[in-house]
A and B are shown apart, each in its own frame.
Chain A
Amino acid sequence: MRILGSPAAKCIPLLLALLVVLPSSLFGYYHFLHYPTASPPFTRVIEKFDLGSLIDGTVYFYVSRDGPQLAANDSYEALVSQVRQALSVWDSVPSSELGVAYGGISEGLSDAAAPSGAILFAELPPGVIGLGGPVTRAEQRDGFMPIVRSQVILSNDLTSGGRPKLSFSEQFFNSLVHEIGHALGLQHSLTGSVMSTDVTRATTRALPLAADDVAGLAVAYPTASFLRFFGGISGRVVSTTGRPIHLASVVAIGGGGNIVVSSLTDPDGRYQIQGLLPGPYRVYAHPLPPATQAGLGPANVVLPTTDSGETVASGGVFKTVFYGGSNRPLDSPSVWVAGGTPTADVDFTVTPLADLALHSVTTFSFPGNGAPGVHPAFVDNRDPTAFVLATGPGLIPHLAEISLEIIGSDLRPARPILYAFDARFARVDFEISPFSGLGPKPLLFRLRDDIYVLPSAVRLTSQRAPVVHWIEPDFSFPDDEVWSVRGQNFGPRALVYFDGLPGTVVGFDEFKGEILVRPPPGPPGRQAVVTVYSPDGQSSAFTLPDGNVVLAYPDGIAPSLVLSRDSAEAGSDVVVEIDGLGTDFTPHQTVVGFGTSDIVTRDLEVVSPERLRVVITIRPQTEPGPYLVTVTSGLQLAEAAQRFRVDPADPDDPRPKLSFGGLVNSATRTPDLSPGVLATLFGSRLSAEPSAEPVPAVLPTVTLDGQEATVLAVTPDQIDLRIPITVEPGVAELRVRRGPLVSEPMLVRIASVSPGLFRAVRSDGSTVGTGNPAQPGEGLLVLATGLGVGDFFDSTEDLGTVQLEINRERVEPLSLREVAGFPGLYELGMTVPDEIADGPLSISLLVEGRRGNTLALPVAPPLDDPSLISELALQ
C-alpha cells in the first residue's frame, strides 16, 4: 500500500489521470514547446516538471553558497530573503498543483537525482544580469518533456556596470520572479504580466502575478478545480489569403480590464486560451514585436523545435484585430466563457503587414514625494491632474496621428501630446469619472487603420503610493519586539517588509500614519530596508527607491548550528534535532535545507528559538557523501559546521523501518490523527515474519511520546492500532519496538480531533454499497473514529460539536455511541433524506468544525417515480 505524504501528493494520481485523458491541444498560454514534426498535426509537447517525481509535488530551489559581489548596503542574507519571497509568489498559485519552495543553500557539488531548481551566480558578460530556464532531457513522458532541473543564473558581480543591482529593489524582485517563471517552464507573454518583458510588464512586488501568469502555471500543472471552474476560448488565426499565422498572440480581456489572459498560436494558426473565469470577454489577435536577432523568436520567445531539431519560424506581423473583424472593441462581439468547457471557433482573419509602425509602449507615472517616475503607471482616481508618460517604437514619430481609448472603463484619455520637458516621451492626460473603476486598464493606441493594445497600461488607484518617514521601537509591547513604522498613505491592509521578508503587522493607525510591526528574525548588525506595500500594487519603494529607511538589527554572535546526528542511510526517513547558538528559530519562517533535492525536509517543529526537530526524507537514489546543512529563519542564515553524511542503504538492517506520513487515520487514510483514533501504521520489518494470525505471538509495541498504543493487527508492513487516548495534541515521537530492535523515531502531528468515517450499515447489519443501496427515509448507522477525547459512550442528547453533513446539509446525528468491544470506534445514527437529487448520498463528519472524509453511498430510486416505473416496465 502506498502512502503519500501531503494533500497535494494525494492528488497526484488523479492529476496524472486527468493529464492522460486531456488532449494536448488543450494547452493554452505559451511554454517551451516542441512539435513532433514541422507539419500538421501540431501536437504540443511542453517542458514541465513531472509531479510524480517530486516529493509532495514540490520543486525545491537552492541558492548557491558562492554568493555574488553585492553593494555595500546589501547582503547575501537579504538576497536569499528575496529569493524565498519570489519562490513563494509562484507557490501561491492556487490553481496549480506544483509546489514551489525554497530548499536552503547548496554547495552545488553534484546534481541531485530528483528534479530541482537552482539559483546560481556565474560569470556573466557586461550587460547581463541574469537568465532563467529549464533543463530537459531529450525524452518525452506522457506527452510532455520532463524538466530535470531549472536554473536561474545571476551575475556573480551585482556591483558592476556602475549601477549596483540592489536585492531590495522592486526591479530586482520582479526580475527574479520573471526568471523563476522561465525556470518553471513559462515563456513571455504580452499581457502586462510578470512574464512580460519589462517594457509592458505591469506587475509589482505588491501584486507580483497577473491572471496570465496564474493561467500559465495552472495550464501546465492544473488542479481538478482549475479544469472544472475555469473556462477558455479557442479558435484559429489565418491571414486574408488563408495562410495560418504562427505565433500570433490572442488576448482575452475581461473583468473591466482586470483579467487579461493570452495564448500564442501553433503553426496551423490554432490557439486555446485557458484560465478564464466565466463571463464575457473582448478578444483580439495581435502580432508579437520583432525579434532582436535572426534566429530568435519574436518578443524573444524561444521558437518551438521539432523532434529533428528544426526550429519552427513565426508567421510574421499583421494588423491587430478584435474578434468579429473590427479594430474597434465596442464593435466586437463579446465572447462568453463558461466554466469547464472552452468556447470554440473564435477565429480571426488578419491582414499581413511588412512591419509594425507602433509596438512595445511603456508607460510611466510619478508617485509623489518628489520621487522619480515609475513603471507601470499608476493614476490616483481622485487626482484630476493625473497624467502618464509613454514611450515606445513608433510612438513619437506618429504622435499627431495617434488617438487613445481605454477599454472597459469610463476613464477617458486625451489625445497624446509631446511631453514638454522631453521630446522622447508622450504625455497622456485623463478625464476621470466616478465610474472609472480601479485596477489595471488597457490602453488602445489607434494609428491610421491599425491599433496597438497595451494591457494594464494604467493602474487606477484610490490613493497615492505609501511614503515611509521613519521607524522606531514601540515600547507599549514590553514582551515583544514591536516597531512603529511612520509615514503616509498607509492603508489597513498594508504590509511591511524587511528586505525580502514580511513582518507581522500588529496594529494600524491611519490618523497617525502608523503601522506597528514585529520584524522577522535578522542577522546581527544587518540593516534591513523597510518597505510598505499597498494592496493596490504601490509601495514605498516607489517613493524611496534608494531604500533609505532601515531597521538595524542588534549586534550579536553569528548564529551556528549543532546536529543531533550527522548521518543516515539513503532511502530512509529520519528525525534530526538541531540546536542553534545565537539563533531565533521562528514558526513558519524557518527552513532547514540539506543542499540537495534528494534530502527533503518533510516536517519541522520549532521547539524553541534555539531548537528544532525536523523529519527528513533521504531518497534511495541519494549519492552517499557529505551534505551542507543550513537553517534559514527570517533574514537569519546559519550553517552547521559539520556536514550531514548520507551512507549507502543497509539492506540487512533488521530494525523496524518507519516512513514519514506512514501513520494514518484508518478511516480517512490521511495523516490526520488525534488521541484515541484508530490508525494504521505502514512500514517495513514491523513484525518478524508473516503470521497467519492477525496478531503474532511476539507483538511489536508502538509508542507515541513513550505511551503505548493498543495494537490491533500486525503484518510485516502494517500495524493497525489505536492512538493512546492520553497523548497530548502537538508533535509526538513515534517508535516501534520488536523485541530488542527499535525503529528510528518518527514525528507525527496529533490534533485534538481527526474525524473519519469507515462505512454505513443498515439496521440488518449489512453494509451500504453497490448492490445494497440505501433507501430514502431509512435509518442508517455510520461507523466513525477520531472524535477526540470525549464522553461518547451512549449519547442521544448533547452531542456537543459532533455533526453530520448529509448532501451538504448539516444535521445532528440521531445517536452516538462507542461500539462495544471496539474502543475508538463509534456509531452515529442518521436518516437518509426522503428526497435526494441525482447522484450518490454524500456524508461527512464534522467534529469541532473539522471535517473528515466523505462517504458516497448509492441510494435506491424511489419506486413511485413514474419515469422509473415505466422504465422498469419496459425491462
Chain B
Amino acid sequence: MCVVRVITYLACLGLVPLSGATLEQLSLGEMIEQSTAVVRARTGQSRGVREGRLIYTLTRLEVIEQWKGEPWTEVEVALPGGSVGGLSQRFGGVPRLEPGREFVFFLWQGPSGRIQITGLSQGLFAVTQAESAELRVTRQPSGDLMLAPETGVVVQDRAIEMPLRDLVARIQSESAEGEQ
C-alpha cells in the first residue's frame, strides 16, 4: 500500500529543516517523554554567553508551576545564537524570549548541564487567558509534516490550542506512564 510506504519513509526520514534549524519533528508525547522537565514559567532577562566556539542566549525563567523533573523555582534556559563581546549570531526558527511573557516550556538538560528547549520552537507553548479566565496554551503550526505520537504515521501539523489543564493532564499522564 502506497500510504504505508509514505509513512515508512517519513518515519525513517525524521529530518525536517524547519527554519535556520534542521529539526526532527516531535509529537507532544515525544516531547513529554524526552524532556527532562516541563514547567510553566515567566521569562526574565537574557544575556549572551560564549561557550567554546558557540554563542548562546541564556534567559532566566521564573518557574510558576512544574509537572516534570527536579523542582526548580528559577532556571536559566539556553538558546543557540545571540550577542556577546561585539559578536552576534542569529538562527531562523530559534524563539526570542522577550521578558515578562508566560510559556509552558518543555526543557531538556543534557550531560553538559546546559538546559535547552526541546525541539526549539516546538517545545514552547504561549500561555494566554481566555475570556472565561481559563488559561489556555497555544502553539502555531510549524507548517511541516509531523508524525502522530501513537502510530508514527504522518499527520498534518496543526495549531495547538487547548486549555492548560488539558495539557497538564496529558503531561502528568504521559509522565506517569514513563515512570512505570
Contact of A128 among B54, B120, B155 (CB under 8 A): B120
Let me know if A389 and B6 touch, CB within 8 A.
yes
Within the assembled complex, what's the spacing in Å between the Cα atoms of A431 and B22?
A: 36
Contact among A132, A151, A199 for B144, CB-based, below 8 A: A199
A364 to B119, CA, bound (A): 25
Cβ contact within 8 Å between A127 and B90 = no
A566 to chain B, nearest CB (A): 26
Within 8 A of A (CB), among B84-142: 86-98, 101, 108, 110-112, 114, 116-124, 126, 139-142
Bound: A133/B23 CA distance, A: 15
B95 touches A137 (CB 8 A): no
Task: Judge if B16 is at the interface, Cβ distance under 8 Å.
Answer: yes
State whether B143 touches A292 (Cβ < 8 A).
yes
Which of the residues A127, A136, A300, A364 comes within 8 Å of B87, measured between beta carbons?
A: A136
Contact, CB under 8 Å: A171 / B15: yes
Q: Tell me which residues across on chain A come within 8 A of B118, comparing CB atoms.
A: 125-127
Shortest distance from the beta carbon of A641 to any chain B beta carbon, whole Å: 25
Are A151 and B53 touching (Cβ within 8 A)?
yes
A371 contacts across to B, CB distance below 8 A: 5, 9
Known: A179-B22, A291-B140. A133 touches B90 (CB 8 A): yes
How distant is the Cα of A118 from the Cα of B10 in the complex, in angstroms? 29
Q: Give A383 Cβ to nearest chain B Cβ, in Å.
A: 15
Q: In the complex, how many angstroms separate the beta carbon of A124 from the nearest chain B beta carbon?
A: 7
B113 smallest CB distance to A (angstroms): 10
Which interface residue of B10, B13, B80, B142 has the most chain A CB atoms within 10 A?
Answer: B13
Residues A302 and B20 in contact, CB atoms below 8 Å apart: yes
Q: Is A293 an interface residue (CB 8 A)?
A: yes
With CB as the reference atom, state the residue of chain A lying closest to B33: A126
**B25 beta carbon closer than 8 Å to chain A:** yes
A295 touches B114 (CB 8 A): no
Known contacts A120-B54, A127-B34, A393-B143; A135/B87 CB under 8 A: yes
Q: How far does the alpha carbon of A423 sit from the alpha carbon of B45 in the complex, in Å?
A: 46
* CB proximity of A86 to chain B, nearest CB, Å: 13
Complex interface residues of chain A between 285 and 314 (CB less than 8 A to chain B): 289-297, 299-302, 311
Smallest CB separation, B145 vs chain A (Å): 6
Chain A nearest CB from B1 CB (Å) reads 6
Complex-state Cα separation, A311 to B17, whole angstroms: 24
Collect the chain A residues with CB atoms within 8 Å of residue B19's CB: 188, 197, 292, 296, 300
A149-188: CB near B (< 8 Å → 1, else 0) gives 0010100000001010100010110110011001000011
Size range of the chain A interface in the assembly = 35 or more
Instruction: Tell me the minimal C-beta distance from B7 to chain A in angstroms.
Output: 8
Interface presence of B21 (CB below 8 A) = yes
Docked pose: A153 CA to B91 CA in angstroms: 11
- Set of chain B residues within 8 Å of A373, measured between Cβ atoms: 2, 5-6, 9
Q: How far is the CA of A188 from the CA of B90 in the complex (A)?
A: 13
Contacts of B35 in A (CB 8 A): 126
List chain B residues, Cβ under 8 A from A133: 20, 81, 89-92
Is the pair B110, A123 in contact by a Cβ cutoff of 8 Å?
A: yes
The contact of A302 among B9, B54, B91, B141, by CB within 8 Å, is: B91
Q: Does B55 contact A (CB under 8 A)?
A: yes
Complex alpha-carbon distance, A386 and B122, angstroms: 36
Bound together, the chains give a CA A111 to CA B139 distance in angstroms of: 38
Q: Which B residues are CB-close (under 8 A) to A139?
A: 86
| CB neighbours of B53 from chain A (8 A) | 108, 111, 118, 120, 151
Contacts of A546 in B (CB 8 A): 12
Which residue on B lies nearest to A542, using beta carbons? B9
B34 near A295 (CB under 8 angstroms)?
no
Q: How far is the CA of A713 from the CA of B87 in the complex (A)?
A: 49
| A290 surroundings in chain B (CB, below 8 A) | 140-141, 143
- Nearest B residue to A387 via CB reads B2
Query: For B111, what are the chain A residues with a Cβ–Cβ distance below 8 Å?
Result: 123
A343 at the binding interface (Cβ < 8 Å): no
Q: Is the CB of A421 within 8 A of B2?
A: yes
**Contact between A161 and B14, CB atoms less than 8 A apart:** yes
Check if A784 is an interface residue, CB within 8 A of chain B.
no
Are the CB atoms of B110 and A128 closer together than 8 Å? no
CA distance A135 to B88 in the complex (A): 5
Q: Are B144 and A198 in contact, CB atoms less than 8 angstroms apart?
A: yes
A177 to chain B, nearest CB (A): 10
Could you tell me if A292 and B93 are in contact, using CB atoms closer than 8 angstroms?
yes
- A111, A174, A197, A359: the one within 8 Å of B18 (CB): A197
Report whether A108 and B140 are in contact in the complex, using a CB–CB cutoff of 8 Å: no
State whether the Cβ of A209 lies closer than 8 Å to any Cβ in chain B.
no
Whether A127 and B23, one on each chain, are in contact in the complex, defined by CB atoms closer than 8 angstroms, is yes
Residues B22 and A131 in contact, CB atoms below 8 Å apart? yes
Give the complex CA separation of A300 and B5 in angstroms: 30
Contact check: which of B2, B8, B91, B121 meets A293 at CB < 8 Å? B121
Taking the closest CB of chain A, its distance from the CB of B119, in whole angstroms, is 3
> Is A396's CB within 8 Å of the partner chain B?
yes
Known contacts: A118-B53, A128-B120. The answer to whether A123 contacts B112 by CB under 8 A is yes
Determine the chain A residues whose CB is within 8 A of the CB of B123 once the complex forms: 125, 127
Chain B residues within an 8 Å CB radius of A137: 86-88
Q: Say whether B120 contacts A125, CB under 8 Å.
A: yes
Whole-angstrom CA separation of A300 from B24 in the bound complex: 16
Tell me the bound Cα distance from A291 to B96 in angstroms.
Answer: 12
Given A135-B55, A197-B143, answer yes or no on A129-B9 (Cβ-Cβ < 8 Å). no
A32 within 8 A of B: yes
Q: Assess the B6–A171 pair: CB atoms within 8 A.
A: no
Known A293-B95, A295-B95; judge A126-B90 contact (CB<8 A). no
Say how far B22's CB is from chain A's closest CB, in angstroms: 4
* A window 98-145: CB within 8 A of B: 108, 111, 118, 120, 122-139
Q: Of residues 133 to 174 in B, which have CB atoms within 8 Å of A's CB atoms?
A: 139-145, 153-158
Q: In the docked arrangement, what's the CA distance between A846 and B92, Å?
A: 51
Q: Is the Cβ of B20 less than 8 Å from the Cβ of A161?
A: no
Smallest Cβ-Cβ distance to A156: which chain B residue: B110
Chain B residues 50 to 76 lying within 8 A of chain A, measured CB to CB, are 52-55
Q: Which of B54, B89, B92, B110 contacts A188 (CB 8 A)?
A: B92
Contacts of A389 in B (CB 8 A): 2, 6
- How far, in angstroms, from A546 to B155 measured CA to CA in the complex? 23
> In angstroms, how far is the closest chain A Cβ from the Cβ of B120?
6
23 A-B interface contacts by CB (under 8 A): A118-B53, A126-B26, A126-B118, A127-B120, A131-B80, A137-B87, A138-B86, A151-B54, A174-B17, A179-B22, A198-B17, A199-B145, A292-B19, A292-B141, A292-B142, A293-B124, A296-B121, A297-B92, A360-B144, A372-B5, A373-B5, A393-B158, A422-B154
Interface residues of A (CB under 8 A from B): 32, 108, 111, 118, 120, 122-139, 148, 151, 153, 161, 163, 165, 169, 171-172, 174-175, 178-179, 182, 187-188, 197-199, 201, 289-297, 299-302, 311, 359-360, 362, 364, 366, 370-374, 389, 391-393, 396, 419, 421-422, 424-425, 545-546
Would you list the 9 A-B pairs with minimal beta carbon distance, nearest first? A127-B119, A372-B9, A300-B19, A372-B5, A163-B14, A373-B6, A360-B143, A295-B96, A126-B34
* Other contacts beyond A138-B83, A171-B13, A187-B20: 6, CB < 8 A: A128-B24, A132-B91, A174-B17, A372-B9, A393-B158, A421-B1
